[in-house]
Amino acid sequence: MSKFQIVTDSCSNIPQEVIDKYGVHILPLSYLLDGVEKIGYVKGEKVDYADFYGQLRKKIPASTSQATPNQAEEFFRPILEAGNDLIYIGLSGGLSGTFTAVSQAATGLKEELPDRTILCVDSLCATIGYGMLVLEAIRMREDGKSVQEVYDWCEKNKHNVLHYFTIDDLFHLKRGGRLSAVKAIMGSALNVKPLLTVSKEGKLVPIGKARGRTKALDGLVESVQHINPTINNTVNIVHADVPSDAEYCANQLREKHKGLNVEIIELDPVIGIHSGPGTVAIIFFGNKERDV
């Protein structure tokens, strides 16, 4: 197996069993909930999603903070000083400043440790979207591919990770400063739910709207086209404390696409603060790049 380490951050929604089995390094991002700082990932600790999203439903003060260059440097240094090269696959730079901070840390460490290879992938993805890139990086490493080959593959294929999602309450996007484009498409109609995607630039953009929750979920299901099973035959449904809605989408997908592997995942708190409880996203590898 090639001697390099894979690093991602805590918003990638990688299953703990994968982290443990393959030694993936998780850079924890943090958030504030009612003035109390919380760490997005602590090994061995499970998130009480029902409690977390229950607090968000009460609209208590909540915010997130990006990693700093110093935090990234401190996280990378022991990995590199142990003689490892590394690749970092991170949350879209269009959604967070974390990737910029990590890149700054990597630049300084490259100067200090010129014999080590440090490669950083701006995934232009969110949640399990770039988690899927991490999973492919693991597979490639297990197959003996080099860190450069993994980096090149991620850069080539990241635009094929397709995200479609809906939110239930615009309050949380507004609080995070991400409302303007969504509000423009929504208008003032009651009970209209937005349909959104992640753009080529890795930003949230609206692509439509639906009258009522069920039609919004049906719209997500209809968006699942152009699946690329040669990379991964899994469609991931990510939800923010609405398991019945996730199951509804999963059942629809299994009926429409026989043989499809459907996984249901709970949304990481750091992203959940911005999208809010009730978020449902469908994420998969497509055989085409993003349209917007």
pLDDT digits (tens, 9 = 90+) for 40-71: 888 888 889 999 999 999 999 999 988 999 99
What are the DSSP E strand ranges found in 170-251? Answer: 192-198, 204-211, 234-239
Global pTM value: 0.93
For residues 240 and 173, what is the distance between their CA atoms, to the nearest angstrom?
14
Task: State both tokens at 126.
Answer: 């969110």
pLDDT per position as a tens digit, 75-123:
999 999 999 999 999 999 999 999 999 999 999 999 999 999 999 999 9
Q: Cβ atoms within 10 A of the Cβ of 38, count?
A: 17
Q: Are 89 and 126 spatial neighbours (Cβ–Cβ below 8 Å)?
A: no
The domain made up of 4-159 has a fold known as Rossmann fold (3.40.50)
pLDDT at 192 over 70: yes
Residue with tokens 């937005």: 194
DSSP-based three-state secondary structure for 119: strand
Give me the residue label for tokens 């239930």.
168
pLDDT of amino acid 176: 64
Ranges of each domain in the chain: 4-159, 160-285
Mean pLDDT of 255-275: 94
For the cut 90, the answer to whether the pLDDT of residue 242 exceeds it is yes
Torsion of CA 133, 135, 141, 145, to 10 degrees: -40
**Pick from 145, 150, 187, 147: nearest CA to 170:** 187
What is each CA distance from 117 to 98, 133, 159, in whole angstroms? 20, 19, 24
Does domain 160-285 fall under CATH 3.30.1180.10? My reply is: yes
